[in-house]
Amino acid sequence: MKLSRRAALASSAAASLGALVHRLDAADAASGLKGHINHSVCKWCYSQVALETLAQWGRSNGLKSIELLEVKDIPTVQKYGLTCAMVSGVPGGITEGLNRLENHDAIVQWMTQTAPQVAQLGCQNIICFSGNRAGQDDEQGIKNCAVGLKRLMPIAEKNNVTLVMELLNSKVNHADYQCDRTHWGVALCQAVGSDRFKLLYDIYHMQIMEGDVIATLKKSAPYIAHYHTGGVPGRNEIDESQELFYPAIMRAIVDTGFKGYVAQEFIPKRDPLSSLKQGVTICDV
């Protein structure tokens, strides 16, 4: 029987994913980690560390992913048995997102081209953003985002990838950003109505905006595909120098049945790899 090109690609991707899962399980056992949390790290926080160096270090220290990479950089981390748990590159970035109808065509065109590449690499999540309000009210923002996301869902569903919108604070780091509250993001998920659109719950950002982290993530668990860390205040190490108690937060995440990734996204003030190792250890519950 002759396979179609699409079927062949799907078969290849499934085989790659199965091999990756086996390698990651072996890495957990070798690193001594408990295996309840899939550990990732955001590359942008470690600009002084070459990607290949970070990947090599990560392989030996319990990381399963290096993320917020564009498609072209993913094969570098895959050489070391890692994946990219959150792919970046969507046009417009944080400020010019899905809440403006005029941005949709460029995002759809990019997604049409990129989603098959992401799937072929065995990755699953692609980050997206609401964009800034710029005078737009929250209800209209949800309506506009939903229009664009409903255009994107057939592409995501065809390629078995998930678009994930990040929750960011608009108080300290991203003034005027619209998806700055969990309830707004959940309302958007409900308006879109597809499991191929979910939220990236950034613990640092949501502590600043609304607090009540554990209760909120438990309530919103069906809509959360991914987590980021960061110390509050300052977005530095997640140890006792800041106000959040990450072991309890991680236990709450595990208790929801979450099987995705938790990525360290703090800016280290000390030796970067020592701080990263500490962050992974703190989150390994």
The pLDDT of residue 31 is above 90: no
Rounded Cα distance, 68 and 73, in Å:
10
Measure Cα distances from 206 to 89, 216, 233, 250, 279 in Å: 23, 9, 12, 15, 19
The pLDDT of residue 193 is above 90: yes
pLDDT band for position 32 (50/70/90)?
A: confident
DSSP string across 28-86: HHHHT--SSSEEEEEGGGGTTS-HHHHHHHHHHTT--EEESB-GGGHHHHHTTT-B-SS
The pLDDT of residue 272 is above 60: yes
Rounded Cα distance, 150 and 194, in Å:
9
Tell me the longest C-alpha to C-alpha distance in the chain.
62
- Helix residue ranges per DSSP H, the chain: 5-31, 51-60, 74-78, 104-120, 138-159, 182-192, 203-209, 213-219, 246-255, 272-283
**How many C-beta atoms surround the C-beta of residue 103 within 10 A?**
18
Rounded Cα distance, 260 and 60, in Å:
20
pLDDT tens across 76-128, in order? Answer: 999 999 999 999 999 999 999 999 999 999 999 999 999 999 999 999 999 99
pTM: 0.89
Per-residue pLDDT, averaged over 138-148, amounts to 98
Structural domains of the chain sorted by starting position, each given as residue range(s) with its CATH number in brackets? 5-283 (3.20.20.150)
